[in-house]
């Protein structure tokens, strides 16, 4: 675990962690939905508004050039951070959702047609289901779904058997936002590539916890959101292999993404701008850099180790001390996400009572209704840890769950 003094210094960077709720210290355990933001990221946003605000790529004036420089530096830093070959393979989007919609619409539109097949898994977030269904309605391909076992691990035998000569694309999450399962992404990609099938990885839940190396994984596309990794909200990243991105048609049309426009025909800009129509979030994008620096300073291994220790401690205590607790997702090596129910009590009741005790958790289907259907439940209560969480907070959470279990009876 990270030492107490180091953790104190880390927490001091997050003003929001000092809040109280209902007269108690706030315990924020909804990090899967969004993590909190260190002051250095907030400072970068403030500086963007107070020092360098100008639209990018359009001005000869100094301010515009400074803003453009900051944005393009952020692209380089993201590319280096995920191991991309070139910064031109990094496309800024509004989030993971937009990144997946981009791939589904542009690449999926190219490769999926009548009679073809797409493979997804049952643990996908709606963001990695619905964009494909929208395309399916236009193109008429079928979607095959990889099931999970009782611990929440993908059934890799079933995965292999779902491939056919009509499989054109595979898309799955690196880590589940409900079960915490970390999927064997490299092996799954290799399996698809043996059949020349390209793969999109939804990295929304992996990027905050694991070192991502897109070239080592050999991912064709990799998507994630900055707000889940201590960064600004409203910004995401789509990594794509250059050879694929170059072949793909633009996703949206407008300014920034063109080379020349006339009523007789338009030509498009080079990568990555071909996929970045309109004014980007040029204030937020540079603020990804301090978020990456924050994580790099601590180290991804230290982050994962700390969160894992919290997960183990909390899970052990919940199982030992809360009668009737039901955990969903117990795969070895999972992320620090605990999805649970207390007996048959509705997750909203549990979540609302925990809130009154100062503990912020998420309740409901977590945008994974097909997974809920598979588990035969409507929803869960979900507590998830980030690097700034402490063992005291984990204990406060377990004590609060015990109290809620007692109140609900
Ligand atoms: N994929 C997964 C696995 C997620 O957990 C989430 C958000 O919780 C998303 C995609 C969507 O991310 P965003 O809403 O930032 O686009």
pLDDT the model gives residue 140: 97
pLDDT digits (tens, 9 = 90+) for 187-225: 999 999 999 999 999 999 999 999 999 999 999 999 999
Residue 59, pLDDT score: 85
Instruction: Please give the pLDDT value at position 66.
Output: 97
The CA 169 to ligand 1 mean position distance, Å, reads 20
Closest ligand 1 atom, residue 176 Cα? 3
* Mutational pocket test of ligand 1: of 120, 367, 369, the residue with most ligand atoms within 8 Å of the beta carbon: 367
* Ligand 1 closest atom vs CA 97: 16
Q: What is the 3-state secondary structure (H, E, C) of the chain?
A: CCCHHHHHHHHHCCHHHHCEECCEECEECECCCCCCCCHHHHHHHHHHHHCCCCCCCCCCCHHHHHHHHHHHHHHHHHHHHHCCCCHHHEEEECCHHHHHHHHHHHHHHHHCCCCCEEEEECCCCHHHCHHHHHHHHHHCCEEEEECECCCCCECHHHHHHHCCCCEEEEEEECECCCCCCECCHHHHHHHHHHCCCCEEEECCCCCCCCCCCHHHHCCCEEEEEHHHCCCCCCCEEEEECHHHHHHCCCCCCCCCCEEEEECCEEEECCCCHHHCCCCCCCCCHHHHHHHHHHHHHHCHHHHHHHHHHHHHHHHHHHHHHCCCEEEECCCCCCCCEEEEEECCCCHHHHHHHHHHCCEECEEECCCCHHHHHHHCCCCEEEEECCCCCCHHHHHHHHHHHHHHHHHHC
Dist. CA 63 → ligand 1 center (Å)? 34
| pLDDT for position 186 | 98
Which protein residues are within 6 Å of ligand 1, measured from CB?
Answer: 33, 95-97, 125, 127-128, 173, 177, 202, 204-205, 225, 236
- Quick one: average pLDDT of 229-247? 98
Could you report the per-residue pLDDT of 303-362, keeping only the tens digit for each? 999 999 999 999 999 999 999 999 999 999 999 999 999 999 999 999 999 999 999 999
pLDDT tens digits, one per residue of 155-194: 999 999 999 999 999 999 999 999 999 999 999 999 999 9
Per residue in 275-297, pLDDT tens? 999 999 999 999 999 999 999 99
Q: What is the pTM of this model?
A: 0.98
CA of 176 to the centre of ligand 1 (A): 10
Residue nearest to atom 14 of ligand 1 (CA): 97
Q: How confident is the model at residue 25 (pLDDT cuts 50, 70, 90)?
A: very high
Q: What is the pLDDT of residue 58?
A: 78
> Across residues 46-70, what is the average pLDDT?
95
* Average pLDDT of the residues of the chain: 98
Q: Is the pLDDT of residue 55 over 90?
A: yes
pLDDT one-digit tens code per residue, 79-131: 999 999 999 999 999 999 999 999 999 999 999 999 999 999 999 999 999 99
User: How far does the centroid of ligand 1 lie from the alpha carbon of residue 127, in Å?
Assistant: 6
Q: What is the mean pLDDT of residues 258-271?
A: 96
Atom of ligand 1 nearest to the CA of 127: 10
Residue 167, pLDDT score = 98
**Residue 254: its pLDDT value, please?**
96
367 is catalytic: yes
What is the distance in A from the centroid of ligand 1 to the CA of 264?
Answer: 40
Q: What is the pLDDT, as a whole number, of residue 235?
A: 98
């Amino acid at each position: 675990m990270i030492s107490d003094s180091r953790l104190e210094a880390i927490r001091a960077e997050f003003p929001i962690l000092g809040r109280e709720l209902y007269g108690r210290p706030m315990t924020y355990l909804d990090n899967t939905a969004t993590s909190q933001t260190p002051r250095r990221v907030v400072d970068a946003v403030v500086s963007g508004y107070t020092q360098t605000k100008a639209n990018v790529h359009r001005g000869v004036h100094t301010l515009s050039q400074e803003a453009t420089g900051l944005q393009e530096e952020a692209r380089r830093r993201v590319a280096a951070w995920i191991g991309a070959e070139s910064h031109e393979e990094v496309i800024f989007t509004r989030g993971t959702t937009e990144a997946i919609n981009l791939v589904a619409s542009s690449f999926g539109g190219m490769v999926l047609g009548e009679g073809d097949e797409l493979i997804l898994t049952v643990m996908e977030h709606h963001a990695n289901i619905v964009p494909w269904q929208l395309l399916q309605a236009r193109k008429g391909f079928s979607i095959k779904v990889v099931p999970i076992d009782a611990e929440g691990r993908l059934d890799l035998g079933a995965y292999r058997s779902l491939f056919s000569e009509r499989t054109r694309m595979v898309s799955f999450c690196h880590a589940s936002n409900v079960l915490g399962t970390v999927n064997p992404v490299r092996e799954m990609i290799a399996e698809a590539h043996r059949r020349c099938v390209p793969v999109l990885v939804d990295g929304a839940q992996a990027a905050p916890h694991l070192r991502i190396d897109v070239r080592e994984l050999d991912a064709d596309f990799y998507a994630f959101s900055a707000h889940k990794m201590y960064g600004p909200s409203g910004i995401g990243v789509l990594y794509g292999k250059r050879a694929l991105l170059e072949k793909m048609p633009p996703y949206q049309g407008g300014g920034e993404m063109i080379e020349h426009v006339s009523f007789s025909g338009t030509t498009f800009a080079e990568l990555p701008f071909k996929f970045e129509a309109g004014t980007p979030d040029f204030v937020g994008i540079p603020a990804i850099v301090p978020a990456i620096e924050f994580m790099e300073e601590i180290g991804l291994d230290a982050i994962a180790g700390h969160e894992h220790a919290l997960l183990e401690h909390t899970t052990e205590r919940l199982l030992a001390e809360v009668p009737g607790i039901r955990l969903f997702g117990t795969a070895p090596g999972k992320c620090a996400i605990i999805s649970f129910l207390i007996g048959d009590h509705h997750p909203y009741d549990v979540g609302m009572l925990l809130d009154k005790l100062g503990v912020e958790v998420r309740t409901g289907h977590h945008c994974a209704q097909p997974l809920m259907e598979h588990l035969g439940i409507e929803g869960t209560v979900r507590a998830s840890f980030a690097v700034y969480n402490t063992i005291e907070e984990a204990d406060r959470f377990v004590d609060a769950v015990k109290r809620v279990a007692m109140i609900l009876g």
